[in-house]
Structure 1
Amino acid sequence: MRARVVRVLAVGAVLAVAALVVPDSAVKSTEVELVKVDRANAVDLSPDVVWILAVGSDARPGEDMTHTRGDALQLVGMNTKTGAAAAIGVPRDSWVDIPGHGFDKINASLYYGGPQLLGRTVGNLVGIQPDYVFVSRFRFFEDMVRQIGGIEVNNPVAFGDDFLKPKGFPKGRIHLTPYDAMAFSRIRHDLIRGDFDRSANQQRVLRGIQAKVRANAAKPGFIEHGVLSVLQHMHTDLSPVELYRLGQAMAQVQPGKITNCVVQGGIGDKGGASVVLPYVDQARRLGDEARKDATLERC
């Protein structure tokens, strides 16, 4: 118990000091952004569940990553009491009604209105409005994986990509380097079900990251170093206390209590572009199942 108290105080001290001494230029970094979502209406959520929409931005160097098209969309819920977590993957090409802009691919909402509009659009589809939106560039994602020494994932089928991964990924339990984790998350053309399988692979990577962090959390300085590293590259409207509470929620997730599903749909054509026509009924059912306790019974 004493060790736990010391650890909590140590992380709290890192957050407090970082808030004071991290250079202003670092605070305004565009590598990662964490935004608290503004809500016009009350949402039926358990006070024990925190929902974060994790987004990978495909912004090019010099572009504002919060106003480009999002590449990876994962709505993640964490139950702070039970240690359960649920991830609902949304294919980026899902054809939906974007508030104020009409129908378009769901990832375009980041371009039109930034994290706030993207959070609202995904929330309208699933029926769960996220509490926070976390946007990161893939370069920073690679850096995060590098800091924890790579990850392990269970790959159900061998696949590759002539550009991103010519030698491919074998079937089975495999180790992913930082670059491999990025490629594993982004490849879709060689996958049987395209965007749906890619979203499932993104969930496998998230599980791998969480498992690695949990396995190393007891090592002296591991959590503190991670917190400081993220703060040095983050722009956020959250207070250090709120950041610390989010960190606690993530650390409490138990690997055996993680469930995940991907919103399915048909394939359509809109203006010559291939799109996903999401099964809204399934998306809402997943939201209803996970809303209060962050668990999914079935996909």
Structure 2
Amino acid sequence: MRTRSKPKQKKSKWLLSSVIIILVLIIGAAVYWGAGIASSLDSFNKDKGDSIINKEDPDIVVDIPNWEGKERVNILLLGADAREAQGMEETRSDSMMVASIDPVTKQANLFSILRDTWTDIEGYGQGRINTAITLGGAPLAMKTIGDLTGLEIQYYVYTDFEGFKALVDAIGGVNYTVEKDMKYKDNADKNRYDIDLKAGYQLLDGDKALQYVRFRHDAMSDYTRTERQRAFIMTVAKEMQSTWNIINMKKILDSVSPYIDTNMTVTDMLKLGQTGLGIKMGDSAQIPPFDYLREINKGGAEVLSYTSKDDIHNYVQEVVTPKPDPTIDPSGDTEATNSSTSTE
């Protein structure tokens, strides 16, 4: 049996879970197509000159798989701090998730990608997985994460801090239980992004929700944070399905549009919207999974490696495979099931 020391807590600058944006697209495109939101959705797909993450032609061009609408669709969800795009700094993907949806089984799975994972980046050797977007824009990030997970990634959606806050505010905030006091001083931008939350059930507006998903000062650092992200995202997904938010969908879409970048066309969004009808959440997971992780040193810095890509691919396939419902008798003999549980 492998043994592993507890992961060390590392400094981190930024976090954002952008997966909630794709839920906006799915619900909005499916429910409000033809009701005045086509222009709102179209504005999510930015021209190169307006894009935050695809500013220049990359040195290495990678192919992006097409999605025909019947097979599994995988969407890379990128969250970052747009402040890094200002001045001389490049924007890196600070939070990376893959939403994987099977149109046949109507099951969606969510994978959190640890940003310090050391892996192959096509054309550049090896490096931290979150640098792929800096080297080749969203397409190279899609290719790199697709190679690691074994999933063909057809789409990406990017947003930043302010997009996250705008979405949460647009849906009226989220009632949520903060499990403990959270406090952290962030000296950048005159402490604009300090974290100061009290434990307990409360209404989180955009600013407080951002504090919650950014907090990483736990004993397990990023590991605990990605779990916290996924739980919060599922709560937001439920809020998005409320009648009030559906009625106000155009307003919600317009409020987040300035902060979103994607390669989806409106037609793609419509297809995803139809796929998203009746969708149910399956398992969510961290990539690489903890059992396959090992810490290594590269250039004097600690990064995260993994046992093998085959191990990761097999694990991902295990997660996306639908699990049998334990309440259903596989033989279909409901009478036998009822009689076995009868007290008479």
Q: What is the TM-score when the length of structure 1 is the normalising length?
A: 0.75
Structure 2 residue 294 is the aligned partner of structure 1 residue 266? yes
Mind listing any 5+ residue stretches in structure 2 that lack a counterpart?
Answer: 1-28, 55-60, 187-192, 326-344
Matched AA of 1:79: D
Equivalences for residues 1-299 of structure 1 within 5 A: 10-18=32-40, 29-30=50-51, 39=63, 47-60=70-83, 63=86, 68-153=91-176, 159-163=182-186, 164-170=193-199, 174-188=202-216, 190-214=217-241, 216-217=242-243, 221-231=247-257, 234-250=260-276, 252-254=278-280, 257-263=281-287, 264=290, 265-280=293-308, 282-291=311-320
Matched AA of 1:262: Q
Q: Is the 8 A contact 2:79 2:96 kept in 1?
A: yes
Whose Rg is larger? 2
Counterpart-to-counterpart distance in 2, 1:138 and 1:84: 28
Q: Is the 8 A contact 1:290 1:296 kept in 2?
A: no
Residues 29 and 196 of structure 1: is their aligned pair in 2 closer, same or farther, counting only changes over 3 Å?
same
Aligned to 1:3: none
Aligned-pair CA distance for 1:178? 0.9
Residues 245 and 87 of structure 1: is their aligned pair in 2 closer, same or farther, counting only changes over 3 Å?
same
Query: SS where residue 231 of structure 2 aligns?
Result: helix
Q: What is the TM-score when the length of structure 2 is the normalising length?
A: 0.67
- How many residue pairs get aligned? The number is 279
Counterpart-to-counterpart distance in 1, 2:243 and 2:53: 22
Question: 1:107-152 deviations in whole A, cap 9, x for unaligned?
Answer: 0001001111111111111111212111111111111111112224
Matched AA of 1:144: L
Query: SS where residue 129 of structure 1 aligns?
Result: coil
Counterpart-to-counterpart distance in 2, 1:39 and 1:128: 14
Query: SS where residue 107 of structure 1 aligns?
Result: helix
Aligned-pair CA distance for 1:103? 1.5
Matched AA of 1:271: G
Output the aligned Cα RMSD.
Answer: 3.9
Residues 18 and 152 of structure 1: is their aligned pair in 2 closer, same or farther, counting only changes over 3 Å?
closer
Counterpart-to-counterpart distance in 2, 1:296 and 1:205: 26
Question: 1:266-291 deviations in whole A, cap 9, x for unaligned?
Answer: 33322122212235455323321245
Matched AA of 1:13: A
Mind listing any 5+ residue stretches in structure 1 that lack a counterpart?
Answer: 1-6
